Amino acid sequence: MSPSYDVIVIGLGGMGSAAAHHLSARGARVLGLEKFGPVHNRGSSHGGSRVTRQSYFEDPAYVPLLLRAYELYEDLERATGREIAVLCGGVMVGRPDSRTVAGSLRSALQWDLPHEMLDAGEIRRRFPTLNPDDDEVALYEKKAGLLRPENTVAAHLQLATRQGAELHFEEAMLRWEPYRDGVRVHTAENTYTAGQLVICPGAWAPQLLTDVGVPFTVERQIMYWFQPKGGTARFVPGHHPIYVWEDAAGVQVYGFPAIDGPGRGAKVAFFRKGRVTSPETIDRTVHPHEIRAMADHMSRCIPDLPGTFLKAATCMYTNTPDEHFVIARHPAHPESVTVACGFSGHGFKFVPVVGEILADLALTGTTAHPIGLFDPARPDPRLRSGDGTSTAAASA
């Protein structure tokens, strides 16, 4: 049996890599186990860009965590020299009473976040690539932008290794069990013991965390890249913002500036509108009818964007029924196990602060960060349904 560790981290994607960094930075003896290679594309932490924003339409309770995450983005860039955050500005577009606009405004007002409200004419004037309907408005946030997911994971792994963490790739956990005053973890290669276990399973949550009490649903999502008509010059940061855009039917899309140079295009995707899958059965092929549906939708609001289809890639959301996260001590093993899962398609922007929270919970059993919303025992009746049906999946 290998030597004992203070903490074993299962999964070294976005959340797990951040946990390994923050734990090792505090002097903990850390073992990280990842079933794939470093910075892989088999889960949810890939695709070149992720939206970040502070005026959070999902719930104002997320805002303090976002403010801390922004500080940690800067720390990560300074420590590694990698590009992590590009704060190019962003618009949340829709009818004034849409969730995207009204929810964003609610958070901005509650937390006194800098923002502007733009009518349709002002949106067109400020951002000529966008073509809103006359009855649509936008909340503009200067501090919104994008994150580089692969760079973020690589940076956290780099720091964790530098700080003495032992990271094993291509080594999947087979099972774990309570052992003495901690846990014992089995892989095909070895058996390890530790005082604490942190599980960051991503889309494998339905398999690994059946006893948490939350029904998780994995949803296949697609990211698309199009070369705009006339090229990318009008779609670069400073001219074309990140956006979340909700239409009259409640369908949301999100997208980015062209950030990777001429010929690489601009990325766009539906926010939701996926289909239920699993990591083993996900269809990695993007079909012509899916590309047409994305292009048709975008042609109405950004007419020059779906000029030429370049490529597409799949990823996965792991949804909870209320689309809020699960970050907590394991309800069945609160003395030795911490879990972070169910990020429901909007978790990556929180990666560095989630790593900080997981280090708090594993090493002290508590955290000063406000995470009550993420308790698996929260009193939402949908969490107690047990039927495995997610609100997001049901709307697909």
Positions at the binding site for FAD: 6-36
| Residue among 106, 317, 339 at smallest CA distance from 216 | 317
Question: Do 26 and 355 meet the contact criterion of CB atoms below 8 Å apart?
Answer: no
> From CA 161, how far away is CA 82, in angstroms rounded?
16
Q: Give the HSE-up count for residue 272: Cα atoms under 13 Å, Cβ half-sphere.
A: 15
* Neighbour-count burial of 86, counting CB atoms closer than 10 A to its CB (0-12 exposed, 13-18 middle, 19+ buried): middle
Tell me the β-bridge partners of 198: 9, 338
Token representation of residue 335: 């003395």
Classify each residue of 205-233 as buried b or exposed e, where b means 16 or more C-beta atoms within 10 Å of its C-beta: bbebbeebebbbbbbbbbbbbbbbeeebe
The distance from CA 348 to its chain's CA centroid, rounded to whole angstroms, is 2
DSSP code at position 373 = G
Supply φ then ψ for residue 296, to 5 degrees: -65, -40
Owner of token pair 């349709």:
120
Q: Count of residues for the chain?
A: 396
Binding residues: 6-36
Q: Exposed, middle or buried: residue 135 (CB in 10 Å: 0-12, 13-18, 19+)?
A: exposed
Work out whether strand 116-118 and strand 137-141 pair parallel, antiparallel, or are unpaired.
antiparallel
Q: CA separation (Å) from 99 to 57, 94, 95, 249, 272?
A: 7, 8, 9, 11, 14
State how far the Cα of 227 lies from the Cα of 258, in Å rounded to an integer. Answer: 9
